[in-house]
């Protein structure tokens, strides 16, 4: 990824780029919106979006390309929960516009920054401008409708915190990039690894079926009640499997940081202004830290096992670490668990004929054929 390309597509005032007091201010704002007790209130909306997506994109089909499906799902969750965009009226058109422009914008982040009308970068930069104008209209709408104490969606929250329009747009675009592909990659590769490990799949399925039974009891007849935060808290093994997936296939294989001052590390001086790249797989796949690192073993992250064999600090970093650890990790956890509940309890799956389950990086992990799965509904599908 070119730093210049990223800045042109996303903007210079996003949380990734700012430092010092500006970073602490923006991070504190996001942390308040994405704090644990706030995420608990988003579970019902996530539940509705996941069921809606699976009914539309999975039910009645014999096969599904998982990666495109999960990208569509995470985009819809983001629009509804983070940005408060409804599916009807003017918001429906805004969602479609953002989806179209966003797909091109993401391509531009990884393009060579040559701004000519016929280059990939030039076309994607034009899409970024159109997307930013769409976000600006959302900001203005929220400003006109805002109550004195703010409101429920992230844009209103930013306005209530006193952020100006440019800063809001830069951070909204950044969150769209950060929250979209990463969770989609996690869900896609979690299904892939469970398909290849029947013992792990059976444990995940048993855990999810037990929670589905609880939902049916709460909801009486019909499809049962929506998932609750307490339900998600009971998905311990499912989240252990997700964490193991993040260890083996981290969505972001490397992080870049700029030295704000000369710093000495291991006897080497890194000059101010230099970019430093850290690769997660260097520790995630280190057998001295994670024995037999090529084996998918969710038990590594079960409570008792993880406590007994705790990895050294900053050796497991799918969400980053330190002062810049991802503030949305609880949001990603909730979104992942809600999606897995309805996939596991609603469908059986296996790799489709001709799909080898392999992947490459462009630069995020990209499975061959989008990870094409043959699917069939379970008897008690409750979508």
Q: Is 263 helix (H, G, I), strand (E, B) or coil?
A: strand
Q: Whole-prediction pTM value?
A: 0.90
List, for residues 199-216, the tens digit of each pLDDT value: 999 999 999 999 999 888
> Does residue 187 sit within a domain?
yes
Please return the burial class of 185, using the count of CB atoms within 10 Å of its CB with bins 0-12, 13-18 and 19+: buried
Tell the residue number behind the tokens 């699917």, with chain if given. Answer: 375
Indicate the annotated binding residues: 326
> Does residue 334 sit within a domain?
yes
Tell me what pLDDT residue 241 has. Answer: 97
> Does residue 49 sit within a domain?
yes
pLDDT interval class at 290 (50, 70, 90): very high
| Structural domain count of the chain | 1
CA distance readout (Å), 133 to 128, 130, 173, 285, 354: 9, 5, 11, 42, 43
DSSP annotation of 352 reads P
Q: Which domain holds residue 190?
A: 3-377
Dist CA 192 CA 70 (whole Å): 13
CA distance readout (Å), 81 to 74, 181, 250, 337: 10, 16, 24, 16
> Does residue 383 sit within a domain?
no
Q: Is 12 helix (H, G, I), strand (E, B) or coil?
A: coil
Residue 160 predicted with pLDDT over 70:
yes
Q: CATH number of the domain that 354 lies in? A: 1.10.630.10
> Does residue 292 sit within a domain?
yes
List, for residues 313-366, the tens digit of each pLDDT value: 889 998 888 877 888 899 999 999 999 999 999 999 999 998 888 888 877 788
Dist CA 171 CA 26 (whole Å): 9
Dist CA 316 CA 282 (whole Å): 10
Among 181-185, 217-221, 257-261, 285-289, the range of highest mean pLDDT:
285-289
Ranges of H-type helices in 80-195: 90-109, 120-145, 154-160, 165-195
Dist CA 55 CA 186 (whole Å): 21
Among 140-149, 232-241, 372-381, the range of highest mean pLDDT:
232-241
- Among candidates 156, 23, 67, which has minimal Cα distance to 372? 67
- Among candidates 61, 336, 329, 299, which has minimal Cα distance to 189? 336
Tell the residue number behind the tokens 């079926």, with chain if given. Answer: 209
Indicate the annotated binding residues for heme: 326
Among 6-15, 110-119, 286-295, the range of highest mean pLDDT:
286-295
CB 29 within 8 A of CB 333: no
CB 245 within 8 A of CB 186: yes
């Amino acid at each position: 990824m070119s730093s210049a390309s990223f800045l042109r597509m996303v903007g210079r005032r996003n949380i990734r780029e700012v430092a010092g007091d500006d970073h602490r201010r923006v991070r504190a704002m996001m942390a308040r919106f994405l704090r644990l007790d706030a995420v608990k209130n988003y579970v019902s909306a996530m539940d509705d979006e996941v069921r809606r997506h699976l009914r539309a994109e999975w039910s009645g089909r014999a096969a599904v390309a998982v990666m495109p499906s999960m990208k569509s799902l995470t985009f819809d969750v983001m629009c509804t929960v983070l940005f408060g965009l409804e599916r009807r009226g003017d918001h429906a058109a805004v969602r479609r516009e953002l989806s179209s422009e966003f797909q091109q914008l993401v391509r531009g982040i990884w393009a060579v920054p040559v701004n000519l009308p016929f280059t990939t970068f030039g076309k994607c930069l034009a899409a970024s401008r159109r997307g930013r104008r769409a976000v600006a209209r959302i900001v203005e709408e929220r400003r006109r409708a805002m109550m004195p104490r703010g409101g429920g969606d992230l844009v209103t929250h930013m306005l209530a915190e006193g952020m100006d329009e440019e800063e809001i747009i830069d951070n909204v675009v950044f969150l769209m990039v950060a929250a979209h592909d990463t969770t989609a990659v996690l869900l896609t590769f979690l299904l892939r690894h469970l398909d290849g490990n029947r013992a792990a799949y059976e444990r995940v399925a048993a855990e999810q079926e037990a929670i589905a039974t609880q939902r049916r009891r709460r909801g009486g007849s019909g499809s049962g009640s929506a998932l609750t935060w307490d339900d998600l808290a009971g998905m311990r093994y499912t989240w252990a499997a997700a964490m193991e997936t993040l260890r083996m296939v981290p969505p972001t294989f490397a992080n870049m940081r700029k030295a704000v001052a000369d710093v000495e590390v291991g006897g080497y001086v890194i000059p101010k202004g230099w970019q430093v790249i850290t690769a997660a797989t260097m520790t995630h796949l280190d057998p001295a830290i994670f024995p037999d690192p090529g084996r998918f073993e969710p038990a590594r992250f079960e409570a008792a096992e993880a406590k007994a064999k705790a990895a050294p600090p900053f050796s497991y970093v799918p969400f980053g670490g330190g002062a810049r650890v991802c503030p949305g990790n609880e949001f990603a956890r909730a979104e992942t668990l809600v999606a897995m509940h309805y996939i596991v309890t609603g469908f059986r799956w296996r790799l489709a004929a001709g799909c080898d389950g392999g992947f490459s990086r462009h630069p995020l992990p990209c499975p061959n054929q989008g990870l094409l799965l043959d699917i069939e509904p379970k008897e008690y599908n409750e979508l």
